[in-house]
A and B are shown apart, each in its own frame.
Chain A
Amino acid sequence: MSQVTQIAQPFNSHIPTESYDAIVVGGGHNGLVCAAYLAKAGKKVLVLESRHILGGAAASDEIFPGFTFSVYSYVVSLFRTHIVRELDLTRHGYQVIPLECTFTPFPDGESMTRCGDPEATRREIARFSPTDAEVAPRFSLAMTQMASFIKHLIDSPAPDLTALRISEVTKLLGLGRRFKALADGNKYVFTKLMTMSAVEFLNLWFESDRLVGPMSVSGIIGTFLGVRSPGTAYVLLHHYMGEIDGAFRSWGFSKGGTGGVSLACARAARSFGADIRTQAAVEKIILRAGKATGVVVRGGHEIKSKTVISAVDAHQTFFKMIGAQHLDADFVHQLKRFKYRGSSAKVNLAVDRLPDFSCKPGDGPHLRGDITIAPGVEYLEKAYDDAKYGNFSERPFLDIVIPSLTDPTVAPPGKHVISIFVQYAPYHLKEGPEQWPAKREALGDTVVDTLAEYCPDIKDSILHRQVVTPWDLEQDVGLTEGNIFQGELSLEQLGPFRPVSGWSRYQTPIDHLWMCGSCVHPGGGIMGAPGELAAKTLLKS
């Protein structure tokens, strides 16, 4: 909190009266990245964040005294390394500590720990399937090759499939060349990846459910799909594209929580002269003759700007801040069909000791990585079944990390924070999403009960519990239907189709209104790419 006040002023402490080159609506990490690039290019930029903290869904907050939670998003991987360099983010405090391993406990007392030591991992997988153990490195290699192919797609604006401009054709040809450069076998693999489910795709390689189950969850994170739903294989790849220091498939903790990334972006933006304000909820984007000319902040304060860039999602931007009456019917039609349907929740625990897994007692490297409660495909499918009918999963998939084991700044000595990503917790409860506040603690109990099946003493160690439902994500952070990616990351909502076909290039049908959040290409995750690409496209225009 004190770090935020050093970078950003509350709106009312000094109401800006001058006019700006650009106003960025929303101080999430993408808004801040966009602001930093624009300010670096000499533009006069104002960032308006509605909350008292910066970062949007990449925010850290001291929810319980002495414990800092990455309240929403919890790991970093996809953040573009060139943004770190171009904005000199390490100088502004960007620090990511890689996760050591992936630990999967099973209900029968078994467990699997996959870590950075290839031989140890091979031996561990071989306990369940010697074949899978040998195949795993080949799978990783294929995914790395495909990730490096697809990486070019996320580092540039989405190709426009309809335009016949030479630049677009060149871009598509470039993509074709890179596809041709893929090893022959991988061309087929990639094609399959685009259409198959995560489980089917993994079954092309692996035979053990103990491996396929936990690996398949990367295909469903943030989507309202099951691990057997077609299209989820691609989402799997999206989670393989993360890189830290050049190594694909590395995930890490941001020092001080994921808000640390946002604060580094904010400091960079400040260093280039951007003005950042908190507690500045934008109520309306001002239109004059169909062009965006500024914003109205809660309290009725009008601020003028040559350009408005929205970092909030498409629904909030167009239906809340603009109004459907100012938009073409077809655009509205497509926007309404853009799927949000948030499916995940978050439970954050402050605990007085480390969790003790009965299948692998005591402290060890297995606690310093990703702990996945996804013991098999059937478990995950059942969890999805509950969600299909408007319930949260009776036994959900949990993705658990304990950042305080590697970052001493987030918990008092000897105590820990446990961050638990929970799926499925559908926004659309059968009783209606507004019933979430009444069900919040029941979800928290379910999550703790699920974890207690593996760590029986967990309940006694809890000092504080925070449950963040999709409803809370919508109410507190402004994520429509609580979708963590500002819109589902499913194939038909990616690239040139995100958020509306023909409008993936950060511009909107409203002149001087741009988009730079996760709802535009290349999508969600703490990636920074939408913010960067929007700024660069705007500066070129």
Chain B
Amino acid sequence: MPIPTPFHDRTASLCISHRWTDWAGYCAVCSYNLPNDSEYYALRHAAGLIDISPLFKYEVTGPDAAAFLSHIMTKNIEDIPGGRAVYCCWCDDFGKIIDDGTVFRLDKDRLRVHTAEPMLAWFKQFKRGFNVTLEDMTAKIAAVAIQGPTSRKILRQITDVDLDALAYYRVLTAQLDKLPVLISRTGYTGDLGYEIWVENAAALSLWDALMSAGKPYLLQPVGLDVLDIARIEAGLMLNGVEFHNAAHCLVELQKSTPFELGLDWTVDLEREPFCGQRALSAEQAAGSRFAFVGLELDWDEQQALYAKHGLPVQFNPGAWRSGVPVYNNDGSRQIGKATSGTWSPIVKKNLALASVKTRYAQTGTVLKIEYTVEYRRETVSAVVAPMPFYNPEHKKT
């Protein structure tokens, strides 16, 4: 039975659709409204408020905190200066991904790690020899993401800190409406946005302050269904969908490596030993079998499939993550899988995230993706496209 998050009193009264899901044991809103288009458009044109409290949060402190995390993560955390956030992943000894998340270097000896799955035991196994303390903060800290083009203007109403100086992937402590919070310029929507971390006791006051400051800027609470569309538009992967924790996989085929997921940029190989380093070095030398790509489905072919049945093109609202095969250009051989996808109302294309054999991963390569119309399995062309699919200038400015 999922339990409420610290924001539940507010989210429950706003969730008039009563559509909830279980996110890591917490009640999480799928969509506040029915239909939920307004949540999507608020997120993309104004701002959305998303309860992300269920993320797992760990605080790592002590003189070896950065060295300890560097030993676990594929990224060299020791290189990260204070006040910075990084996205990274971590692997098992065989270079297979365990999870991904963000690491905040709050100060020299104090870091915070946010993960999709519980990682206390995984992290603990590396503690020997490091002078660190590891604390699970998950149940103590509430978190909310405020994302979208007007998010900065909203925060400005209730804080004196210089938000213009808070660059992309920076983090600082601040007072928001007199509440002590941590603000990170991070998010899962590929847009301008922030994540705000606060002690549980102050969660409801924070929510109220944000909603009230956000009203003139058209802030709306946004559920996970719309977040799923946004993260696909942003080309961001999801644990359990695009990849699976290697520690949970029954067979090798279900495991992935950071290189196969396009996370090369998070892998710093030339440094002190870290978990999975040897296998990742070998993979880098030999090349990866799979690559993570974005696909854009051919509109005319989709239209033609519907027309065969006398139908106009129809889309299911929201993102799918059921997984479908991806074939080579003539459809004769399966060369990968599309793990999730969505119709993008802002890009005006049907998009998918996929894992394909490396030689089919070049931008512009035309592949075929399974596409079902009126219970008939067909295929349509899908071109390998650069990601993010949606990448507004204001994301980083």
Residue ranges of A at the interface with B (Cβ–Cβ < 8 Å): 81-82, 84-85, 90, 94-95, 97-98, 100, 116-117, 120, 144, 148, 151, 181, 243, 245-246, 248, 255, 365, 368, 405-409, 413-414
Give Cα A368–Cα B313 distance, bound, in whole angstroms: 26
Please report whether the interface of chain B is mostly helix, strand, loop or mixed according to DSSP: loop
- Please give the distance in Å from A34's CB to the nearest CB on chain B: 21
B38 near A408 with CB under 8 A, answer no
Give Cα A272–Cα B338 distance, bound, in whole angstroms: 34
A365 near B38 with CB under 8 A, answer yes
Residue of B nearest to A149 (CB): B310
Give Cα A17–Cα B33 distance, bound, in whole angstroms: 58
Interface string of B181-218 (1 = CB under 8 A from A): 00000000000000000000000000000000001111
With A116-B37, A151-B312, A408-B150 known, 6 other A-B pairs at CB within 8 A are A117-B35, A245-B345, A246-B313, A246-B343, A405-B218, A408-B45
Residue of B nearest to A151 (CB): B312
Give Cα A365–Cα B46 distance, bound, in whole angstroms: 16
B348 near A81 with CB under 8 A, answer yes
In the complex, what residues of B have CB within 8 A of residue A409's CB? 45
A406 near B35 with CB under 8 A, answer no
B45 near A100 with CB under 8 A, answer no
Segment 11-62 of B: residues with Cβ below 8 Å from A: 33-35, 37-38, 41-42, 45-46
Contact A413/B35 with A97-B41, A245-B343, A246-B314 known, Cβ cut-off 8 Å: no
Cβ-based interface call for B299 (8 A): yes
Contact of A84 among B215, B310, B348 (CB under 8 A): B348
Residue with the highest number of chain B CB atoms closer than 10 Å, among A94, A148, A408 = A408
Cβ-based interface call for B223 (8 A): no
Contact A414/B216 with A117-B35, A368-B38, A406-B41 known, Cβ cut-off 8 Å: yes
In the complex, what residues of B have CB within 8 A of residue A148's CB? 312
Contact A90/B45 with A148-B312, A406-B218 known, Cβ cut-off 8 Å: no
Residue of B nearest to A244 (CB): B345
Interface string of B339-376 (1 = CB under 8 A from A): 00001011110000000000000000000000000000
Cβ-based interface call for B276 (8 A): no
Give Cα A255–Cα B148 distance, bound, in whole angstroms: 15
Contact A413/B216 with A148-B312, A408-B150 known, Cβ cut-off 8 Å: yes
In the complex, what residues of A have CB within 8 A of residue B216's CB? 413-414
In the complex, what residues of A have CB within 8 A of residue B347's CB? 90
Chain B interface, number of residues (Cβ within 8 angstroms): 27
B348 near A85 with CB under 8 A, answer yes
Contact A116/B35 with A81-B348, A84-B348, A90-B346 known, Cβ cut-off 8 Å: yes
B37 near A100 with CB under 8 A, answer yes
In the complex, what residues of A have CB within 8 A of residue B315's CB? 245-246
Cβ-based interface call for B149 (8 A): yes
Cβ-based interface call for B396 (8 A): no
- Please give the distance in Å from B306's CB to the nearest CB on chain A: 9
The 9 closest A-B pairs by CB, nearest first: A413-B216, A414-B216, A246-B313, A116-B35, A97-B41, A408-B46, A148-B312, A90-B348, A117-B34
- Please give the distance in Å from B385's CB to the nearest CB on chain A: 12
In the complex, what residues of A have CB within 8 A of residue B215's CB? 414
Give Cα A151–Cα B313 distance, bound, in whole angstroms: 13
Cβ-based interface call for B140 (8 A): no
Give Cα A245–Cα B348 distance, bound, in whole angstroms: 7
In the complex, what residues of B have CB within 8 A of residue A90's CB? 346-348
Residue of A nearest to B148 (CB): A408
- Please give the distance in Å from A497's CB to the nearest CB on chain B: 27
A85 near B299 with CB under 8 A, answer yes
- Please give the distance in Å from B170's CB to the nearest CB on chain A: 25
Give Cα A97–Cα B39 distance, bound, in whole angstroms: 11
In the complex, what residues of A have CB within 8 A of residue B312's CB? 144, 148, 151, 243, 246, 248
In the complex, what residues of B have CB within 8 A of residue A98's CB? 37, 41
Cβ-based interface call for B289 (8 A): no
In the complex, what residues of B have CB within 8 A of residue A365's CB? 33, 38
Cβ-based interface call for B333 (8 A): no
In the complex, what residues of A have CB within 8 A of residue B150's CB? 408
In the complex, what residues of B have CB within 8 A of residue A84's CB? 348
Give Cα A98–Cα B312 distance, bound, in whole angstroms: 19
